[in-house]
Amino acid sequence: MPLIQVIVYAVIQGLTEFLPVSSTAHLVLLPWLMHWEDPGLTFDVALHLGTLLALVAYYWKDWIDLLGGAAGMQPGLSRQHYSQQRWLLGWMVVATIPAGVAGYLFEHRVETQARQPMVIAASLIGVAGLMIWAERRAHQDKRISQISFLDTLWIGVLQALALIPGVSRSGITITAGLFRGLNREASARFSFLLATPIIAGAALKKALEIHHTGLSPEMRAPFICGIILSAVVGWITLRILTVFYEKHSLEGFAFYRVALGIFILAIGFLR
C-alpha cells in the first residue's frame, strides 16, 4: 500500500470519525473518486484502533471518574456524585444496545448493499436537514447530569442508523441529543463517550475476522502507521471540537454535508 494512501486514509479517518460528516462516507468515496484500490479489512482495523486510542487518550480522566464514581471508589466525593456516575454509565449501556443489535443483524447486508455513492449522498443530505432542524428548533438547556432514560433510548435508537454509510455516528447522536433538549456541549460529550464502546466493539469484531489469517509482512508498516497517524489526528480533532461546540452550531457541518452530497450526485450522474 503506497505511503501517500496510508497518510490520506489515516488523516481522513482521524478527522471524520469525530466530525459530524461520516467517516465511512469519506473512506468509501475516496477510492471511488481517486480510483484507488480498497484498503481492505486489515487497514480498516488499524484506522479504528487509532481513533479508539484517540478517544481513550483524550477522555481517560472522564472514564476513570465515570467508572470509579460508579463503583464508589473515589473517596471524598458525595453520594450525589456517585449516583450521577452510576446513572450515566447505565444510560451509556442503554444507548449502546440498539447499535449493537443493529450491527449484529444488518452489518453484512449494509456492507454488501448500502455502500453505494447514491445511498451515501442521500444520507449526507438527509441528516444535514435533521442537524439544521435540531439547531433551530430544539431547546438546548439540559446538562449531561440531567440526561434521562428516554433521552438515552432516543439517542441509542438513532445511533443505530449510523450503520448506513453517510449518516455519521457522531452527527446523528449529537443531533439526537439536541432534539432531546441537551445543550450542544453535553450532546457532544455524551456522543464521544458513547463512541468508545462502539468503536472498540467494531474494532474487536474486525480484528477477530483477520486473526486466523494473520498480518501479512507488506501490511505491517501501513498498519502501524495507520494506527499512529489516525490516533494523533483524532486526538487533535477531539480537542478542537470540544472547544468548538461550546460556541458554535452544527450548521456549518450540515452545509458541508449538503455540498458533498450534491457533488457525489453530480459525479455519479456524469459517470
**Domain interval for residue 92:** 3-270
Give me 59's grid cell: 477522555
Q: What local confidence, expressed as pLDDT, does residue 177 receive?
A: 93
* Cα(271)–Cα(254) distance, integer angstroms: 26
Express each pLDDT in 242-260 by its tens digit. 899 888 889 999 999 999 9
Grid coordinates representing 57 are 487518550
| pLDDT score at 52 | 94
Q: Could you please report the per-residue DSSP string of 204-256?
A: HHHHHHHHTT---HHHHHHHHHHHHHHHHHHHHHHHHHHHHHHH--SHHHHHH
Cα distances from 125 to residues 25, 107, 203, 255, 262, in angstroms, run 12, 22, 27, 9, 8
Calculate the alpha carbon distances from 52 to 60, 239, 261 in Å.
Answer: 11, 15, 27
Q: What is the pLDDT of residues 174-233, one digit of tens each?
A: 999 999 999 988 999 999 999 998 888 888 877 777 777 777 778 888 889 999 999 999
Q: How many structural domains comprise the chain?
A: 1
Tell me how far the alpha carbon of residue 77 is from its chain's centroid.
32
Confidence at residue 87, expressed as pLDDT on a 0 to 100 scale: 81
What is the per-residue pLDDT across 142-186, written as a single tens digit (0 to 9) for each?
888 888 899 999 999 999 999 899 999 999 999 999 999 999 889
pLDDT bucket at 5, cuts 50 / 70 / 90:
very high
Q: Is the pLDDT of residue 10 over 80?
A: yes
Neighbours of 149 (CB within 10 A): 12
Cell numbers given for 95: 444507548
Phi first, then psi: what are they for 142, rounded to 5°?
-90, 140
How much is the pTM? 0.90
**Got the DSSP string for 180-202?**
TTB-HHHHHHHHHHHHHHHHHHH
Radius of gyration in angstroms for the set of CA atoms belonging to the chain, rounded to a whole number:
19
